[in-house]
Amino acid sequence: MSVLHGVRLSLDERSARLLSPWLTSAVSYGVGIPSPEIRVRVDLAGTPPVSQVVAEEAAAWLGLTADGVILSDYSGSWFTVGGSPPVICGVLARTPESADEPPRYLLQSALLLALCAIGVYELHAAGLCTTDRALLLVGESGAGKSTTATALASAGCRYLGDDGLMIRRRADDVELFAHSPLFRLTENSLARFKALQGHASSDADGKWRFDASLAFPNRYLTYWRGPTALLFLARSSGRASVLSDLAPAEAVGLLVEQSSAFGLDAHSTPRQHLDLLAQLVARSYVARLELGSEWLDDPAGAAQRLLERTQSFSHTRVNQMIPPSAGHGSL
């Protein structure tokens, strides 16, 4: 079984050959824990009729078909999502030479739509795990997720990923699934992790990437269900980092902002998605983490201080990471 974007794909031989530059080997999510799986068929003949175009961007457009949606670029590549369980079908107008070409973007977008239909949603966050809890680092691009995640992994944490993961409901809990073992750092951040520089290679956008499964062997965690701390990242003007209270309603709003599927006009299960984000907040310890310059000056020390602080998080007080008598505190 092959994997793309952290999801198992059911492929025929021709589809597997066409998508092979993007695929990785299947990973195990553990005994009794089914991983999400989507059927994909590539290189079909004929574009299906489009009843309405609902969104257009510079690189692609989104439309409706008789039984689902279609995503297409302007060079002849397209993917449809339809059926129950959902099936992705489509055409690649050219053989991909790069993982960053538009067809991959289209296929990943189609994959996110198909996952929504089965109750699996992407979250723009980094995921690290101690022995007893997951730490989800949530924030806009540039907020410091990758630097913080790399420092925590260097300090011994297991990891789900540095920039994205997937969530779904399971019974009365929320499951987290790994996205990719690739980490990406700016040149300035990478300079702080000398032991990792031999694993890094430059990306097209000027950042550096490395396979954390090689840099941190045996610590790639594909799945987590258990206690979770949600840390919403911001920047501090000082050296020390600060943890402060965050209201659950604000936390849900910030999670919505980091859930790209809410921006898709064809989102098939928006109510369920919102309910799942609310459930994640309700069952987590929630705080704002303002990152001081210590994360660049002394990432190892900053990571250790944060991990020490997580050991004091109450196991009985939901949404309360700071002692009741204190509204904020430096790490």
| 18-42 tens-digit pLDDT | 888 777 765 555 545 556 778 888 8
- The answer on pLDDT for 1 being more than 70 is no
Q: Quick one: pLDDT at residue 318? A: 42
Kindly give the pairing relationship between strand 37-42 and strand 87-91.
Answer: parallel
| Distance in angstroms (rounded) separating the CA atoms of residues 319 and 312 | 14
pLDDT of residue 177: 87
Give one word for 284, left, alpha or beta, with left for phi > 0 and alpha for psi -120 to 50. Answer: beta
- Domain segments of the chain as ranges: 2-118, 123-330
| pLDDT mean over 222-247 | 92
Given a cut of 80, whether residue 127 has pLDDT beyond it is yes
pLDDT over 70, % of the chain: 87
Average pLDDT, the chain: 85
Q: What is the pLDDT of residue 27?
A: 58
Stretch 288-301: mean pLDDT, rounded? 94
| Cβ–Cβ < 8 Å for 232, 289 | yes
Contact, 22 vs 111, CB < 8 A? no
For residue 163, what pLDDT is reported? Answer: 87
pLDDT in tens, 36-80: 778 888 887 778 899 999 889 888 899 999 888 999 988 888 999
Task: Give the distance, in angstroms, between the CA of residue 267 and the centroid of all CA atoms in the same chain.
Answer: 18
Gap between the Cα atoms of 41 and 31, Å rounded = 28
Query: CATH topology for 123-330?
Result: Rossmann fold (3.40.50)
Kind plus residue range of the DSSP H or E element containing 53: strand 52-56
- Residue 248 pLDDT greater than 80, yes or no: yes
Cα-Cα-Cα-Cα dihedral sign, residues 145, 151, 156, 161: positive
d(CA 199, CA 197): 5
What per-residue confidence (pLDDT) applies to 328?
A: 53
Interval 175-205: pLDDT, tens: 998 878 889 999 999 999 999 999 999 987 7
In this prediction, residue 322 has a pLDDT band, given cuts at 50, 70 and 90, of very low
* Cα dist from 210 to 177, 203, 214, 324, whole Å: 20, 10, 8, 41
pLDDT single digits (tens) 95-114: 555 445 667 788 888 888 88
CA 229, CA 157: separation in Å to the nearest integer? 14
> Is-contact 176 160, C-beta < 8 A?
yes
Residue 92 has pLDDT above 90, yes or no: no
Question: Residues of the chain with pLDDT > 90: what percent?
Answer: 48
Taking residues 276-291, report their average pLDDT. Answer: 95
Q: What is the mean pLDDT of residues 252-279?
A: 86
Whole-angstrom Cα distance, residue 136 to residue 128? 7
Tell me which range, 6-20, 180-194, 310-324, is most confidently predicted by mean pLDDT. 180-194
Residue 29 is predicted with a pLDDT of 56
Residues 6+ apart with CB under 8 A from 240: 292, 294, 330, 331
Report whether 278 contacts 272 (CB < 8 A).
no
